[in-house]
Amino acid sequence: MEISLPCRLTSLRFGSQPLAGLTENISRGEILVQFPADQSFEDGPCVGDPVIVEIDLPANHSFGRKCMQCQTTVVRVSRSEEGPARLAMRIHKMRFQSCGEGHAGEDACGAPTRQLLM
């Protein structure tokens, strides 16, 4: 399904700073994420790296802001000088949570939060 949603990626390879990107498409078992062309991707994830992906879901007045957190493994990395870098990842586990609950990095107020370990 082609859907563009903001997301954050965390991995041991790029430390405590999450990478910000946009989903390009999502299926039941895989995610494709693109990154802004101006974002440095030198120390980004490599094929085989485990990555936590947190996707911001559209707001719903019934239950507030939710995020989908996925434990993934990188299966393809594409970098090009003209366009954005892209990561394709295989999903192993996913869960839905309130935004800020278990956020990788910091919550909306900037407070440090816990990270789901793989």
This prediction's pTM: 0.77
Question: What is the distance between the alpha carbons of residues 25 and 31, in angstroms, rounded to a whole number?
Answer: 6
Q: Which domains does the chain have, with CATH numbers?
A: 6-98 (2.30.110.10)
pLDDT on residue 101:
53
Q: What is the pLDDT of residues 5-57, one digit of tens each?
A: 999 999 887 777 888 999 999 999 999 999 987 776 677 788 999 999 999 99
Mean pLDDT, residues 61-67: 80
- In a 3-state reduction of DSSP, which class is residue 43? coil
pLDDT on residue 113:
38
Do the Cβ atoms of 96 and 56 come closer than 8 Å? Answer: no
C-alpha dist (Å) from residue 64 to 5, 57, 60? 16, 10, 6
- pLDDT over 70 for what percent of the chain? 81
